[in-house]
A and B are shown apart, each in its own frame.
Chain A
């Protein structure tokens, strides 16, 4: 599903954000990328959704070798991903349902099918009753649910979440995390960057990848044979 092979990402000003990272997130898996801030979690996610390209190494996502992808092919990959951020990234002047519908409209979905699909995902995240409300009228947890609904509406193969609970209180965090687990249970892989170890511990079967200064220092699913391969 997502495979990092000896990936290094260097930035001209700040130096290496990832150093020789190798890990593999399988289909249907719930994986955590953990580590302190600056450990390289967000950089790793950016390489997955192609906001950046690796300096060395290879990143493969859902069958795409991202290193060799032409810029014009990037949208094709992104349509297979759902992305959720700490700051929700909602459009303030659009209602919840318009924010979700936006993801379908701008990717050329047929107009007739948009309404039902939007309501389906808003129901899935528990916000069917707040479809007409604007982000400013919703709580942080609800805004993040709208963002998750937007990420889900294109039926992604993997949901990427970059500190999705970073701006939420504990109760909202639990609610959002449970939602991500439900989504995962229905077959969508989830790769979540978080520094909240309590969340990680609450899902014992999850795949844990720990980063430190850009290096993978622990991988609960590491295959020693794969690591020794050239």
Chain B
């Protein structure tokens, strides 16, 4: 193992320019992927914050005993889709309307009786905030005898669904294309390093080194280059994000886990690129 480490360090020392070029190339291809990742993360966040408003409201018939509603509340809370269910009484509904709809203040002042019904406001868990699940929850709420009407913004949720699907599909396609480009660039870069050392590989084989032994330093080299490229790409992405965040629009950066995954993906790409390049080279000679 120590020889593998030494050979890896020597590879960087003997060809510093080529090594730096490899790391930079890997960094830039990952940086492009990183920028795309930032866009994806921010779009996802925007859609997420809009989805938080997805709510199903079940309006109750007048005069339903509190015990019945309380019992139903625990049933509804047990629905797998439900994150939170809140009972809004008639008085609370009026208070809320007075607070939210200030332009109708006069009308609310003159009321002799409260015209607003009580309701159950149901918030869904994030994975269930799509049209199908919302409709299903609404159907189940409607089946309670004390429920008069169930409302949710059907059109609005369907539009949100479409937006989410389009963002997902575009993200997947563009992400896959960027990843493919990164893999090809990294593979080519590492192939250059392999070709540069083809004489060494030929001599290793002649003196009886096993293919596994020959491969090991290249794999480690690819892993290190990929990881270094990943760190550099992360730095470039952070700089680009800071610039955009300050000058153009407020946005979020990767979470530490996402950032670490990016560097790990760079290392993995470097490793796989090396494995492919060396494997192809060894089969060809």
Contact = CB atoms under 8 A, between A and B. Distances in A.
Interface residues of B, number: 17
B208 interface: yes
A178 interface: no
A154 B3 CA distance: 18
Contacts of B3: 105-106, 111
B202 A89 contact: yes
B205 A78 contact: yes
Contacts of A105: 3
Contacts of A93: 14
A78 B199 contact: no
Interface in B177-227: 199-200, 202-211, 213-214
Contacts of A91: 199-200, 203
B208 A75 contact: yes
B208 A78 contact: yes
Interface string A53-94: 000000000000000000110011111010100000101010
Contacts of A81: 208
A102 B208 contact: no
A106 B204 contact: yes
Contact of B206 (A49, A71, A108): A49
Contacts of B202: 89
B203 A75 contact: no
A93 B214 CA distance: 18
A46 B120 CA distance: 85
A150 interface: yes
B207 A150 contact: yes
A103 interface: yes
A102 B210 contact: no
A75 B210 contact: yes
Contacts of B200: 91
A37 interface: no
B199 A89 contact: yes
Given A89-B202, A102-B203, A105-B3, A75 B14 contact: no
A107 interface: yes
Given A105-B3, A106-B204, A75 B209 contact: yes
Contacts of B210: 72, 75
B3 to A, nearest CB: 6
Contacts of A78: 205-208
Nearest to B203: A89
Interface in B120-176: none
Given A91-B199, A93-B14, A107 B207 contact: yes
A83 B2 CA distance: 27
A102 B207 contact: yes
B209 A107 contact: yes
Nearest to A99: B203
Contacts of B199: 89, 91
A79 B208 contact: yes
A154 B206 CA distance: 12
A53 to B, nearest CB: 14
Nearest to A107: B208
B183 to A, nearest CB: 28
A63 to B, nearest CB: 16
Contacts of A111: 2-3
A145 B226 CA distance: 40
Interface in B20-69: none
A83 B213 contact: no
Contacts of B204: 102, 106
B10 to A, nearest CB: 9
Interface of B: 2-3, 14, 199-200, 202-211, 213-214
10 contacts: A75-B209, A78-B205, A78-B206, A78-B208, A79-B207, A102-B203, A102-B207, A106-B209, A107-B209, A154-B208
Given A75-B208, A105-B3, 10 more contacts: A49-B206, A77-B208, A89-B203, A91-B199, A102-B203, A106-B3, A106-B204, A106-B208, A108-B213, A111-B2
